[in-house]
Amino acid sequence: MTELMPAEGVFSLIWLLIALPLAGAIVLLFGGRRTNSWGPYLGVLTVSASAVLGVLMLLGLLDRPAEERTVEQTLFTWVFVGDFQADMAFQLDQLSMVFVLLITIVGALIHVYSLGYMAHDPDRRKFFGYLNLFVAAMLLLVLANNYLLVYVGWEGVGLASFLLIGFWQAKPSAAAAAKKAFIINRVGDVGLSLAIMLMFVTFGSVSFDDVFRSTSEASEGTLTAIGLLLLLAAAGKSAQFPLQAWLLDAMEGPTPVSALIHAATMVTAGVYLIVRSNAIYNAAVWAATAVVIVGLITIFMGAIIGSAKDDIKKSLAGSTMSQIGYMIFAAGLGPIGYVFAIFHLLTHGVFKAGLFLGAGSVMHGMNDNVNMRRYGALKGLMVITFITFMAGYLAIIGIPPFSGFWSKDEIIHAAFERNAFIGIATILAAGITGFYMTRMIAMTFFGKPRWEEGVHPHESPAVMTIPLIILALGSTFMGMALLFWGNIESWLEPVTGFASEPTPLPTMFYIGVTLVVVIIGAVIGWITYGVKPVPIDPPHGSWLTRAARKDLYGDAVNDVLVVQPSLATARYLSWFDDKGIDGFVNGIARWVGLLANTLRRTQSGLVRSYALSMVGGVFVVVLALLLVRMN
Amino acid sequence: MNTGTFNPPEIDYLAIAPILIIFGTAVLSVLVEAFVGRTARRPVQLVLVIGSLLVALYFVISQAGTRTITANGALVIDGPALVLWGALLVLSLLGAMLMAERTLDPSGDVFAARAAALPGSEDERQFTQRGWVQTEVWPLFLFSVSGMLMFVAANDLLLMFVALEVMSLPLYLLAGMARRRRLLSQESALKYFLLGAFSSAFFLYGASLLYGFSGTVSLPGIAEAISAKPSQGPLLILGMALLVVGLLFKVGAVPFHQWTPDVYQGAPSAVTGFMAATVKIAAFGALLRVMYVAFGGIRWDWEPMLWVIAILTMFVGSIVALVQTDIKRMLAYSSIAQSGFIMLGVIAASAEGLSASLFYLIAYGFGTIGAFAVISMVRQSGGEATSLSAWAGLGRTSPVIGAVFAVFMLSLAGIPLTSGFVAKFGVFAAAIESGDTWLVIAAVVASIIAAFFYVRVIVLMYFSAPAKEPAVVAVPSAFTTIALAAGVTVTVVLGIIPQPLLELVANADVFLR
Amino acid sequence: MNEVIEPNLGETLVFWICGGLAVVGALGMVISRKAVHSALWIALTMINLAILYVANSAPFLGMVQVVVYTGAVMMLFLFVLMVVGVDSSDSLIETIKGQRVAALLLGVGLTIMLVAGLGAGLSGAGTIGLDAANAADGGNVQGLARLMFSDYIIAFQATGALLITAAVGAMVLTHREYWQPRKSQRELSQDRFTDGGHPGNKPSPGVYARHNAVDTPALLPDGSTSAISIPAPLRARDDARAIDVNDITNVRRLTEGESE
């Protein structure tokens, strides 16, 4: 464990990282119509200033030896009850630093992009206000030095996400999606709040430093409980099985929101939480195993859902689930995986933001249609969008030298270090990724135009394409930069620890196999959706239609083995999503509503019935006391 | 023939000065009603009320360190009492501000011009037109405040009972004096009165049984009797049960809660805000004192009973609030649910539990009075727009008031960076430390349910299209503005820097016995 | 500690008789349909309680009970009830399903628990009586006074707040003010003439064999009815009885028939 250094020099401004966007949010949300004209620019400015500050702090950290890179700044004691103390204090270390950079830089780019994307929205000012609020809350989450403050940021990003998903509240589906996200996230929040209480009871403190120093004092059972509760929290925020259902619906929000919150940053908070709590998971093997299992299930669920959705954003959302599954999975592997979880998180944050913004650019040109079956042949009309999207595409499926290759390959390699079976599973999932991303590319940019009447696709304005270009450059070079120039393993090692175990076969073998599987997946995707014409109406996947099309699909054995079961599973999963999870949530809601109405009926408005219930209460109170006494 | 010599009681007049000041001013205020001309009454009363509250507050602050039992053991001035006094006086001041408001309603005051005039009669119309005001509300208000101050400092059950009545009786009257929807208001006042009397009877019965058990009505005396008698009889249990029922009624615990929604809805919003904040504080202050001082030795007996009541209260309050369509009723159920959460601090039966409860009460008081201040400002043609549907889209038409109300809702829901979060965290942590983990889990689940209806209001204000007849926010005078500003400032400041108040309540975490 | 005194037979008899009557009175008060009866029942309870107080060596309390409650408060109740109308009785039809059964069960259950608890708590406790306490201060009144002015001085004074609140409250809720100056006798009589109204007494309501209530109009010599013979509120409510001409002829025919 490294020493906590006092915040001096540029680090005395840690609070300003958060204060800037927060001030922006306050001005925008309370400023009223006066700020309509210049408000959005203020929003961009505050986040950009935070980004600049973040870069300065990075340089400051690089100046220091590795063991002095954990800086703590205490503003004041926030809550102090009895033995319990929680400070309003920030901790900037290598892990927080990369998050700060990701949040502020990607955040700033998305703010710029939103200037164009939201140009015609009457509530533009409020949108930027919410975005700033989100950035502030997310920075608080990653800069907090104790779990209670993390919880504050955790709720803050939840609130901002809720407000932004429901931003177009006129659409009932958006309001419903916001509500669903809120409900499911609250389940995760319970996990976090119970974990915090348990930590407080066990360690007498909730600060990172105290908790991690004293993990050896707690029993493994307690640590496992804390680990599982934190996993529940992470699953809620990061849309992991079994709390994944809200993410697909969250795509009702404006696309920049999907890019910033539901792809690059907020949904990775769960990964942050688990990696940050590495000391707990290192000491609680079962909790770590649960993390691996949850991650692995979600990798496949997300990939399969991504293969079946025709809505471009939902398909990307499935892919996000799957990629975060990789990160959670890696985080569960322990010291061999933490670093790569964060590495993949960073590269994914950039390329997925690029993909989402690209999708937004496409939608912008297609009158906000999200159905990929009504796209096609856009590569000539939206050149910049196409090229930048391709960079993201190559990055996500993991083609060298694009950034996703480096990070995903490291995770797969780490999986093989632990266990060949889970390694093979991750390779298979990489193959499915190749399939669905190729399907997306093929349906959107290639083939014949299947546009709706009156749609005239066009390239987006520069304010939107410039962020795309920057993100595309990131998607291309960032992996190499972080790995070879930035030395991500040794950078993060003081915080997360790092270990490497030998694998039975040479590294190049795994890389080769992975690439082959990915390319097979991509080829299947290309054959199915790039070579063959794409029907406008989604084909029925029933036995009869499939038999009728058998000769069309017969040439690809994997089609039957992968695609159709995938589609069927995807349909089952989305059915499960609708009927299972929704049914569960709605069922609870209905049950609670019924109960509420029954209880409400006792409120007759007549004094004698109130008095009767009081007498009943007296009866119960007396009886309860007498019974307790008799025992 | 006089065999005994009479020793006059020694009374520390300085220590109980806040009570005496409010009490004396209340009497003076009655005289003002009798002798001051009609037009001058209102300003004179306002000066008296606000002045006396401030002077009393000064005396509370100036003797922050006082710990004494005075008047032959009848009154105890200790840490909790002083903190509660301070909170009660400040919140009463804000309540007085709300009650003094007269620009929100186009026809004037928040109270009926003449409570005696029949609703809908020509008399009523004439009085209203002439701008008469019922200034008798001010002495009633002061009597109620003096009762609260006595209630939280009473060290024997007899004084506690008298204080309970002194506190409640004026409130029954004030609840029935709304300017608009007068029949509803009068009905609610009568209900409040009848049920309040019913619950007082239980309190009195309990007190007499406890006297039978211990031969004294003083709280420390009862505690002594409990520790002195190893075979503690059913008399004690029965007495405690009935006594607690009387107090649980005042805090609005299930199943003694049913008056709450009707009264909160019927009473004028200014009175509701005042009452919701201060009565809850006073009643919990007394409940804490009784449970800690008198029955602290048999906490294993009463804890299971309070578990049941607390869980019922949290869940019934939260669940029924979900289906309310009237904002005042919704807040009434919310106050019920909050009572359940505060009860965790009572059940904890520890120094942490006490200080956490005090913090919770203060945070809740400011949030609630602020919320009712907003309600009194949101109006339609027929008066206050209490129907939730009229609030749709309010956040867009009046961003500042929408945001302020959202802050109160978030605080009541216990979202971080508001006072409500720190408060909830405090009582939950105290309950966990006392080993009531399961109760805390139940409370967390209940607070999730509760979060729905709080957030639902925010959703309604921001995400819904404005209603057909949208409510408008009337511009208040300085009175309501001050109350509202104080409410929102305290709510936010206590969320971000709760430390000073936490230290204050941590220094006041023992009852003097 | 005072010595425990065993109650003698007389005391026991007084307790059971007066206690029983007090309970009967309380039940009667709740069960009676008419408010006046309820008031009388409760007077019975109060008197019996007073006797019990006296029997327990608290003569002052007994006297106060009689003078204040039975004398002043109950008589005031009766006055009010008489003014409101002795005949008015509330509708006793219960509209809430199960209310009565539940109330009865809970009431009985609570009673059983309380009686059982009290019985268990008090059995073998014996009585102490007030004799020792009274002797300490030289008498019952002196003893009460000492307590009231020492230990319970604050409570005693705070009770004053209750009385003031009650007085102010009663006035607020009932005192009717006039928004215009009240007319003097002179002005009233002037009004009566200047309005061109009816200066003399108004005709009294009609008096017939079948109807002689205030809602029956007087008959004018031409057989028509006089509107002003009915009190104005009844007219305003349209509560005046119509006089059926056939009625008059029927009556006439009947009486003439009888005389034949």
Residue C62 token pair: 């007994």
Q: What is the CATH number of the domain that holds C75?
A: 1.20.120.1200
C229 located within any domain:
yes
Within-domain flag for A250: no
pLDDT of residue A587: 60
B220 Cβ contact partners less than 8 Å away, ≥ 6 residues apart = B73, B155, B293, B294, B513
Q: Which of C28, C53, C86 is the last residue of a domain?
A: C86
Last residue of a domain, one of C57, C86, C115: C86
| A618 in contact with C, Cβ within 8 Å | yes
**Among B residues 330-369, those touching chain A with beta carbons less than 8 Å apart:** 351-352, 355-356
Are A379 and A493 in a shared domain?
yes
pLDDT score at A582: 53
* Cβ within 8 Å of A, B 42-71: none
Domain count, chain C: 3
Residue A492 belongs to a domain: yes
Same-domain pairing of A626 and A487: no
> What pLDDT was estimated at residue B230?
60
Measured between beta carbons, the chain B residues lying within 8 angstroms of C137 are 2-4
User: Of B255, B262, B497, which is closest to A605 when you measure between CB atoms?
Assistant: B262
Q: Does B416 contact A at CB distance below 8 Å? A: yes
% of chain C surpassing 90 pLDDT: 20
One domain, residues A527 and A611: no
Are B87 and B463 in contact, with CB atoms under 8 Å apart? no
Reported confidence tier of residue C257, pLDDT bands at 50, 70, 90: low
Query: Domain ends where: A549, A583, A604?
Result: A549
Q: C132 to chain B, minimum CA–CA distance in Å?
A: 12
As given in the structure block, the two tokens for residue A23 are 């001030």
Is residue A26 situated within a structural domain? no
The DSSP-derived string for A147-213 is HHHHHHHHHHHHHHHHHHHTSSTTSHHHHHHHHHHHHHHHHHHHHHHHHHHHHHHHHS--BHHHHHH
* Residue C119, domain member (yes or no): no
Domain boundary among A494, A526, A549: A549
Residue C148 structural domain: 131-172
Show which of A549, A566, A593 is a domain's final residue.
Answer: A549
SS3 assignment, position B70: strand
**Is B135 an 8 Å CB contact of chain A?**
no
Query: Do residue A512 and residue A543 come from a single domain?
Result: yes
The residue of B75, B166, B226 whose CB has the most chain C CBs within 10 angstroms, and thus the best one to mutate to test that interface, is B166
Q: Which residues of chain B have pLDDT under 70?
A: 1-4, 230-232
Let me know if residue C3 belongs to a domain. no
Q: Which residue has the higher pLDDT, A36 or B337?
A: B337
Task: Give the model's pLDDT for residue A583.
Answer: 55
| C13 domain residue, yes or no | yes
Element housing B69 (H / E) = strand B68-70
Residue C113 lies inside a defined structural domain of this protein: no
Domain count, chain A: 2
Q: Considering C17, C52, C86, which residue would you say is the last residue of a domain? A: C86
Backbone phi, psi, residue A5, to 5°: -100, 145
C30 in reach of chain B (CB within 8 A): no
- Average the pLDDT over C51-77 and give the result: 88
Nearest CA of chain A to the CA of C142: how many Å?
A: 38
Closest CA to B146 of B29, B296, B308: B29
User: Would residue A94 count as lying in a domain?
Assistant: no
The whole-number pLDDT of residue C25 equals 94
Q: Give yes or no for a contact between A602 and B190, defined as CB atoms under 8 angstroms apart.
A: no
Sort out which chain B residues have CB atoms less than 8 A from A610's CB and list them.
191, 195, 258-259
Based on the fold, state whether residues C12 and C82 are members of the same structural domain: yes
| Same domain (yes/no): A578, A485 | no
Q: Is B433 on the interface with A (CB under 8 A)?
A: yes
- A82 found inside a domain: no
CA distance A538 to C164: 81
Task: For residue C94, tell me if it sits in a domain.
Answer: no
A-contacting residues in C 117-136 (Cβ below 8 Å): 117
A6 in B contact zone (CB under 8 Å): no
- List the single residue in C121, C158, C159 with the smallest CB-CB distance to B233: C121
* pLDDT tens digits for range A150-205: 988 888 888 888 888 878 776 777 777 777 777 778 778 888 888 888 888 778 78
Same domain, A534 and A579: no
| Interchain proximity A610–B258, CB inside 8 Å | yes
- Determine, yes or no, domain membership for A243: no
User: C touches which chains (3+ CB pairs under 8 A)?
Assistant: A, B
Contact B245 A614 (CB under 8 A): yes
Are A575 and A460 members of one domain? no
Portion 112-131 of B in contact with C at CB < 8 A: 114-117, 123, 126-127, 130
Q: What domain range includes position A593?
A: 558-630
pLDDT for the residue A2: 59
Q: What is the pLDDT of residue A451?
A: 78
Interhelix angle B79-100/B38-62, rounded to 10 degrees, is 160
Q: How far apart are CA A115 and CA B387, in angstroms?
A: 38
Task: For residues C79-84, give the mean pLDDT.
Answer: 76
In a domain, C160, yes or no: yes
Chain B residues in contact with A148 by the CB 8 A cut-off are 425
Q: Which chains touch B (3+ CB pairs under 8 A)?
A: A, C
Question: A130-145 pLDDT, tens per residue?
Answer: 888 889 999 999 988 8
ipTM for the complex shown:
0.90
Closest CB to A593 among B258, B323, B459: B323
Determine the Cα–Cα distance for residues A613 and B261; give it in Å rounded to an integer. Answer: 15
Is residue C78 situated within a structural domain?
yes
pLDDT at residue C159, as a whole number: 93
Closest-CA residue of C relative to A616 is C106
Q: Are C164 and C222 in a shared domain?
A: no
Residue A569, pLDDT > 70, answer no
Q: Does A363 lie in the same domain as A429? A: yes
Rounded to two decimals, what is the model's pTM? 0.76
